[in-house]
Amino acid sequence: MKKIILYILACGLSFPFSSCSDWLETSPNTILTEDEVWSSENLILRNLSNIYSRMPHEAALETLPGHVILDDAMFSGFSNDGESNNTFGTYPYGWFYSYDYTLMREINLALKNSETSTLKDEDKLATFKAEFRFLRAELYFEMVKRLGGVPLITDVYAYEGSTNVTDLQFPRATEQEVYDFIASEMDDIHTALAANNSSQSRANQYAALTLKSRAMLYAASIAKYSAQKTPEIQSALSSGEVAMAGASATAYYEASLAASEKIINDHVFSLMNSSQTADNFYNAVSTHESNTEIIFAREYNSTYPTTFTYQNLSRSQREVEAASSYIAPTLNLVESYDYLDGTKGTIKTTDANGGYIFYNSIDEPFLNRDARMDGTILRPGSTFRTELEIQAGVYYWTGSAYAFQTGTLGSTYTDGGVLVGVDGPHHTENNVSNTGFYLRKFVDMTTGSGINVNGSSMWWVYMRMGEIYLNAAEAAFELGQTEKALTYINAIRYRAGFGANSLSASDLTIEKIQNERRCELAFEDHRYWDVKRWRIAHTLWNGSSSSETANLYALYPYRVVGGPQDGKYIFVRQVAPRVTVPRYFRMGNYYTAFDATVLNNNPKLVRNPLQD
């Protein structure tokens, strides 16, 4: 009988179905027969946990660089750790690569072995099978959203001495075939998964429906917008591996909407809507207690914590004198949050004559805004644990005019007031915001969580109801069901502090829906993939030094001292100083390049287009 070596992830994930001590009862290198593994619930769980832990996610809490490359942020940490995140300019073709057929084979092997399992509890065995299939579909989704069509392999193949190697080489499926496979799998298995919200760290029925909702929305928008906005890609590789040529966008939008509405109408999960405040939004994403919003997340615990909070507390709040302020949200993102009266969130820094606008308080430009801004971002005037001290310098009266003065972090001006805040912003200093903003979302309020040896138990959210409402709104709008789209988009906006019917049919555009996703889902690993599937990345990140969207902007506040405007504040808008070049996204970046070794080993694979 064949033997296998079962590599145990020693409690790397804190799943609710097993204690850490249970996970360590078997030595990681114990050699077990397949029959032994598949007759033991505990060993199946360990195998399953291992696979959960290895799924590719670019911006999870343990993969910090993903946030500053994939979202509206820059790197403000120690320069040797990640300055390349600020200076890359042109997106490389190979970034975000994932082609993990080692993991795929392990999943397929698990499913094959499950067919002969002697586990007595047939219901549990059915759930395990469904979970492995969920993970396989999720892995295919993570690959297809990067690479386009990839080989669809659902069986286990082994090289024997007499095997013709070409029989083990598979061509790419079309992009459409991969998306159709994901939909079919979720249709088959979702009812075999848990139908309640008792566990958010294992795939439940609604995680499967969310995967379908998300994947079908991606497929639909690629099918619609590829031909409209990036026909060069389709013509460069016309055999279907990319671009969804000929696929029905309508059918995919309908499938996404149906999955989303099933989740909404079953009421197992719901938007956290206890108040229309920043705290409510922060709690909806970042806290465990009484959370009705989170469908699927990766858990951390005190034994296996995340150091995300240690890396991202503001300078004044760090609990050890080391890392802080790694992720600095940009002014671009801040200004995407509208004022509550419906006007755009652009902060006016100068008047029609080019003179500075004087504000009565440091937080005046940020008041009466979409509550999601303060639930996501810390800005001048914010309090988190304690009040932040964000000030870049003073604008002092010389007797005839105003002039700037700056200094070191935490310095005092001659009037006894703050010259430069402990929290900056600062042009060149490490571990302090370079943009004037800090991250709040996913940063732990708990004392001690900012110490690297302690870490935080903050979870990383993969799926939640905010996305479901946005998926439903976008799909309905694209299908011409404007009133239904309004219902879902206004529900999202209501909990952000807007009126119950803040948008009317005449207000709703695809650009408005796109901005709602940017605000709601910031730093949750959506933005980069969204602008790719909408086929607008090359226009947003066009490499131009004069582009408002390709450059990353900062906002520096100055306290006014003396003269007719004494006690007020001005704000200076500028390109974030450590970001030396605008972002440049080329047509070839819509699909990640295959690794050269993979192409050499399998001549049946075709390269992705426009990457010469």
Average pLDDT over residues 125-152: 97
- pLDDT of residue 332 exceeding 60, the answer is yes
Of the CA atoms within 13 Å of residue 260, those in its CB half-sphere come to: 27
* Pairwise CA distance, residues 397 & 417, whole Å: 15
Question: Band of the pLDDT at 251, cuts 50, 70, 90?
Answer: very high
Average pLDDT over residues 531-552: 97
- pLDDT of residue 442 exceeding 70, the answer is yes
What integer pLDDT is reported at residue 179 of this predicted model?
98
Question: Band of the pLDDT at 198, cuts 50, 70, 90?
Answer: confident
Average pLDDT over residues 272-300: 93
The tokens describing 495, both together, are 């909990």
Nearest to 221 by CA among 609, 530, 587, 541: 530
Single-letter amino acid code for the residue at 340 = L
What integer pLDDT is reported at residue 151 of this predicted model?
98
Asked whether residue 197 is assigned to any structural domain, the reply reads no
Question: Band of the pLDDT at 30, cuts 50, 70, 90?
Answer: low
- pLDDT of residue 24 exceeding 80, the answer is no
Question: 3-state class of 33 per DSSP?
Answer: strand
- pLDDT of residue 143 exceeding 80, the answer is yes
- pLDDT of residue 165 exceeding 60, the answer is yes
Single-letter amino acid code for the residue at 352 = A
Query: Regarding beta strands 553-561 and 393-397, do their DSSP bridges make them parallel or antiparallel, or are they unpaired?
Result: parallel
Asked whether residue 590 is assigned to any structural domain, the reply reads no
Left, alpha or beta for 559 (phi > 0: left; psi -120 to 50: alpha)?
beta
Lowest mean pLDDT among 58-67, 441-450, 493-502: 58-67
Question: Band of the pLDDT at 164, cuts 50, 70, 90?
Answer: confident
What integer pLDDT is reported at residue 26 of this predicted model?
40
- pLDDT of residue 149 exceeding 60, the answer is yes
Helices (H), 482-523: 482-494, 510-520
Question: Band of the pLDDT at 62, cuts 50, 70, 90?
Answer: low
- 326 with 77: CB under 8 angstroms? yes
* Pairwise CA distance, residues 156 & 394, whole Å: 67
**Mean pLDDT score of the chain:** 91
Of 495 and 453, the one with more pLDDT: 495
Q: List C-alpha distances in Å: 304 to 18, 24, 181, 199, 208.
A: 14, 14, 35, 18, 26
Average pLDDT over residues 582-601: 97
Nearest to 566 by CA among 348, 412, 396, 363: 396
Neighbours of 239 (CB within 10 A): 11
Question: Band of the pLDDT at 23, cuts 50, 70, 90?
Answer: very low
Of 84 and 131, the one with more pLDDT: 131
- The owner of tokens 């566990």 is 199
Run of H or E including 559: strand 553-561
For residue 347, what is the DSSP state? P
pTM of the predicted model as reported, rounded to 2 decimal places: 0.94
Lowest mean pLDDT among 181-185, 449-453, 587-591: 449-453
Average pLDDT over residues 37-48: 90
Nearest to 460 by CA among 100, 36, 55: 55
What integer pLDDT is reported at residue 33 of this predicted model?
74
- pLDDT of residue 367 exceeding 50, the answer is yes
* Pairwise CA distance, residues 147 & 139, whole Å: 12
* Angle at alpha carbon of residue 163, lines to 161 and 167, rounded to 5°: 155
Average pLDDT over residues 304-314: 92
What integer pLDDT is reported at residue 464 of this predicted model?
97
Q: List C-alpha distances in Å: 312 to 61, 319, 474.
A: 11, 11, 32
- 425 with 417: CB under 8 angstroms? no
Nearest to 149 by CA among 121, 113, 180, 110: 180
What integer pLDDT is reported at residue 358 of this predicted model?
98
Handedness of CA 175, 180, 183, 189 (dihedral sign): negative
Top mean-pLDDT range of 30-39, 157-166, 231-240: 231-240
* Pairwise CA distance, residues 150 & 145, whole Å: 10
Query: Regarding beta strands 327-329 and 294-298, do their DSSP bridges make them parallel or antiparallel, or are they unpaired?
Result: unpaired
Handedness of CA 185, 189, 191, 194 (dihedral sign): negative
- 149 with 594: CB under 8 angstroms? no
- pLDDT of residue 2 exceeding 60, the answer is no
Question: Band of the pLDDT at 168, cuts 50, 70, 90?
Answer: confident
**How would DSSP label each residue in 384-450?**
ESEE-----EEEEE-SSSEEEE--STT-B-TTSSBSS-TT---SS-SSS-SSS-EE-TT---STTTT
Average pLDDT over residues 211-226: 98
What integer pLDDT is reported at residue 59 of this predicted model?
67
* Pairwise CA distance, residues 401 & 61, whole Å: 48
- The owner of tokens 């590599």 is 7
Question: Band of the pLDDT at 260, cuts 50, 70, 90?
Answer: very high
What integer pLDDT is reported at residue 64 of this predicted model?
60
Average pLDDT over residues 451-476: 95
- The owner of tokens 């075939």 is 177
Question: Band of the pLDDT at 18, cuts 50, 70, 90?
Answer: very low
Neighbours of 160 (CB within 10 A): 6
Average pLDDT over residues 158-184: 89
Asked whether residue 562 is assigned to any structural domain, the reply reads yes
Asked whether residue 397 is assigned to any structural domain, the reply reads yes
Q: Which residues pair with 464 in a beta bridge?
A: 294
What integer pLDDT is reported at residue 34 of this predicted model?
75
- pLDDT of residue 65 exceeding 90, the answer is no
- The owner of tokens 């799926």 is 463
Asked whether residue 555 is assigned to any structural domain, the reply reads yes
Question: Band of the pLDDT at 14, cuts 50, 70, 90?
Answer: very low
What integer pLDDT is reported at residue 61 of this predicted model?
66
Average pLDDT over residues 55-64: 70
**Phi and psi (nearest 5°) for 462?**
-95, -40
C-alpha dihedral (104, 109, 111, 113), degrees to nearest 10: -170
- The owner of tokens 């600020």 is 86
- 395 with 286: CB under 8 angstroms? no
Asked whether residue 406 is assigned to any structural domain, the reply reads yes
Q: List C-alpha distances in Å: 121 to 128, 320, 365.
A: 11, 50, 60
**Phi and psi (nearest 5°) for 590?**
-65, -25
Query: How big is the chain by its Cα radius of gyration, in Å?
Result: 26
- 394 with 559: CB under 8 angstroms? yes
Of 409 and 299, the one with more pLDDT: 409
* Pairwise CA distance, residues 172 & 143, whole Å: 12
Q: What is the number of domains present in the chain?
A: 1
- pLDDT of residue 21 exceeding 90, the answer is no
- pLDDT of residue 128 exceeding 60, the answer is yes
The residue segments making up the domain with residue 92 are 72-99+317-453+550-585
